Amino acid sequence: MLGESHDLRHEFPTLDDRISVLCDSDEEFAHLMKDHDNLDAQVRKLEELGTPVADETIGDLKKERLLMKDRLYAMLRTS
């Protein structure tokens, strides 16, 4: 759905406590989460404003967001 939030807490509500712990204790996780949230906001802004952008560009941004989310999830599972 256009404009839908894909932030980590929204995607994985049962891991909210673990996300908080890692944000406070793991600098790499916190940095990657911030980057993911910024990218998510950028994608949502493009979608919501109807900004003219090539399908390939928005697709690339969404793929990058997904790769970040996968990496964050892997970090949540292994720590």
Has residue 19 been placed in a domain?
no
| Residue 72 within any structural domain of the chain | yes
Task: Say what the pLDDT of residue 35 is.
Answer: 97
CA dist 79 and 64 (Å) reads 23
Q: What confidence tier does 3 reach under pLDDT thresholds 50, 70, 90?
A: low
58 is a domain residue: yes
Average per-residue pLDDT for the chain:
90
3: in domain: no
Count of the separate structural domains present in the chain: 1
> Alpha carbon of 77 to those of 14, 19, 66, 73: distances in Å?
12, 11, 16, 6
**Res 19 pLDDT > 90:** yes
Domain holding 40, by residue range, is 8-13+26-78
First-to-last alpha carbon distance for the chain, in angstroms, is 31
Between 6 and 44, the more confident residue is 44
Spatial separation of the C-alpha atoms in residues 69 and 11, rounded to whole Å: 9
pLDDT of amino acid 2: 56
pLDDT tens digits, 26-59: 999 999 999 999 999 999 898 888 778 888 999 9
